[in-house]
Amino acid sequence: MEPLRLTLNLIKIIWGFIESDFVTFAVPNTAFGVFANLTNNPFITAPFNFAASLSSSNASISTASHILLRLPLILAFNVGNLFVFDLANQRAPHSVAEDRINKPWRPIPQGKITTDQTRQLMLITIPAVLCLNYVLGAWRQGVFILVLSWLYNDLQGGDEAFVREILISVAYGLFNSGSLSVAVGPGEHSLSPLGLLWTAIVSGVVLTTMQVQDLKDQAGDKIRGRKTIALFMGEQFSRTSIAFFVCFWSCVCAYFWTLSPFTFGAIAIVAAVVAVRVLYVREPKGDARTWRLWCLWHASLYTLPLIRLFDIF
């Protein structure tokens, strides 16, 4: 029973590190790859293979069964790389001090693991995740994700105003393009012009609106000395810019995918709720709910390529 108990404790510790980011980061990025691949995937350009082109079994259409089989691998890519990032993000002394206020349930503040043990865990996890990325065919994205993690955490780029948002938006682009590559399957793949543009749009969404997550964490961020947009430029500026860009990107995405008024209306309603709440609900619990609604709005944008195929209204 001892090995089983140790295994369960390790799983609980791993979940404690990624819990806050799983639904808001790993799941949407996985959905990006899944929904894009269900549209016959015009987002990926693969090198021409003459022998394969002669085979009738080499269909360009990604079937639902294929996606279902690839789904655990897409999720593994996102969770593995997210775990490495969260280990680096939560082990520094100033991060522990912040988490004691904003997220006291995390493993280090709770005493389930020490910062030195976290460092030792990273020595095992990083090589393992690099191997996983290589096997899954997303090693390029994985290498750059590690570089961004180093810039964000070890060089404290995540504490600098505007640099933080840039690093996060680029990270989303890498996670999303990696999810696309894993969804397609083995082989060398590159993003098509459409794939590059759609990934850039999503990264733009993150760059200009992701700061909504910082509104609820201002108390801990002040102690850490983190220069979020809300603290550096002022809360009013932050809230106004979030509300504007949520509406702006909803319109851009609707235009990009030529959505019908009915479909756009569904997206617009969620966007309007987020915009109104971020302007008029100004207390930590309310900001936390607004952030969750932002996550819903953000994730809904990922479904648009697939919805466009069936948009008959």
Give residue-wise pLDDT tens across range 103-156: 889 999 999 999 999 999 999 999 999 999 999 989 999 999 999 999 999 998
Q: Which of 138-152, 220-234, 239-253 has the lowest mean pLDDT?
A: 220-234
For residue 270, pLDDT beyond 90: yes
The confidence score (pLDDT) of residue 59 equals 36
For residue 198, pLDDT beyond 80: yes
> Is there a domain that residue 74 lies in?
yes
Matching residue, tokens 């404690």: 16
Q: Which of 84-98, 217-231, 239-253 has the lowest mean pLDDT?
A: 217-231
The confidence score (pLDDT) of residue 23 equals 83
The confidence score (pLDDT) of residue 17 equals 94
Count of alpha carbons within 13 Å of 144, Cβ hemisphere only?
14
Question: pTM for the full model?
Answer: 0.85
The confidence score (pLDDT) of residue 166 equals 93
Q: Which domain holds residue 215?
A: 25-43+63-309
Tokens of 127: 């090589």
Cα–Cα dist 126/11, whole Å: 17
> Is there a domain that residue 143 lies in?
yes
The confidence score (pLDDT) of residue 84 equals 95
**The one-letter amino acid at 60:** S
DSSP string, 5-20: HHHHHHHHHHHHHHHH
Helix axes 64-90, 2-21, angle to 10 degrees: 90
Residues in a beta bridge with 190: 45
> Is there a domain that residue 305 lies in?
yes
pLDDT band at 86 (very low <50, low <70, confident <90, very high): very high
Task: Please state, rounded to an integer, the average pLDDT across all residues of the chain.
Answer: 85
Cα–Cα dist 300/257, whole Å: 13
219-241 mean pLDDT: 86
Tokens of 1: 């029973």
**The one-letter amino acid at 226:** R
Q: Which of 55-64, 117-126, 163-172, 298-307 has the lowest mean pLDDT?
A: 55-64
> Is there a domain that residue 165 lies in?
yes
> Is there a domain that residue 300 lies in?
yes
Q: How many domains does the chain have?
A: 1
Express as a percent the part of the chain with pLDDT over 70. 90
166 vs 52, residue with greater confidence? 166
Express as a percent the part of the chain with pLDDT over 90. 48
How buried is residue 279: exposed, middle or buried, by Cβ count under 10 Å (0-12/13-18/19+)? middle
> Is there a domain that residue 145 lies in?
yes
Cα–Cα dist 233/244, whole Å: 16
> Is there a domain that residue 276 lies in?
yes
For residue 187, pLDDT beyond 90: no
> Is there a domain that residue 14 lies in?
no
The confidence score (pLDDT) of residue 61 equals 41
